[in-house]
Structure 1
Amino acid sequence: MFQPANSQKRFFSLLFGAFAGLTLAAWILRGLTLLAFLPGSVIWLLLILAIATGVLSRVAR
Structure 2
Amino acid sequence: MSQSSNKLNRLLTQTCGFLFGIAIAVWVLRGFGILGFMPGGVIWLLFLAAFAFAILSYMQKTWWRF
Secondary structure of 2:9's aligned partner: helix
Q: Which amino acid aligns with 1:5?
A: S
Rg larger for? 2
- Would you identify which runs of 4 or more consecutive aligned residues in structure 1 move more than 6 Å? none
Q: Which residue of 2 aligns with 1:26?
A: 26
| Runs of 5+ unmatched residues, structure 2 | 62-66
Matched, 1:56 2:61: no
User: Which TM-score applies when normalising by structure 1?
Assistant: 0.91
Q: CA RMSD in A?
A: 1.1
Q: CA shift at 1:32, angstroms?
A: 0.3
Secondary structure of 2:47's aligned partner: helix
Please list the CA deviations of residues 11-50 of structure 1 after superposition, one character each: whole Å capped at 9, or x if unmatched.
Answer: 1001001100000000000000000000011001101001
User: 2:22, 2:8 → 1: CA distance?
Assistant: 21
The alignment of Structure 1 onto Structure 2 pairs a total of residues equal to 59
Matched, 1:6 2:6: yes
User: 1:51, 1:42 → 2: CA distance?
Assistant: 14
| Runs of 5+ unmatched residues, structure 1 | none
User: Which TM-score applies when normalising by structure 2?
Assistant: 0.84
Identical counterparts, % of pairs: 39
